[in-house]
Structure 1
Amino acid sequence: MVPSSGADPRLVASIRELLAARDAGKTICPSEAARAVGGEDWRELMQPARDAAHSLVERGEVEVTQKGEVVDVTTARGPVRIRRVR
Structure 2
Amino acid sequence: MNIQDSTTTAPASLEHALLSILTKASPGTLSAPEIAHAISPEGDWHGLLMPIRRTAVELAMAGRLVIYRKGKPADPADFRGVYRLGLPRHD
Q: TM-score, normalized by length of structure 2?
A: 0.73
Return the index of the structure with the highest Cα Rg.
Answer: 2
Q: As a proportion of its length, which structure holds more helix?
A: 1
Aligned-residue sequence identity (percent) comes to 27
Aligned counterparts, 1:71-82, within 5 A: 71-82=74-85
Unaligned runs of 5+ residues in structure 2 are 1-7
Q: C-alpha distance in 2, partners of 1:23/1:35?
A: 17
Q: Which residue of 2 aligns with 1:70?
A: 73
Q: C-alpha distance in 2, partners of 1:45/1:74?
A: 20
Q: TM-score, normalized by length of structure 1?
A: 0.77
Whichever residue aligns with residue 52 of structure 1, its letter is T
For 1:34, which of 33, 36, 39 is the aligned residue? 36
DSSP-derived class of the 2:25 partner: coil
Unaligned runs of 5+ residues in structure 1 are none
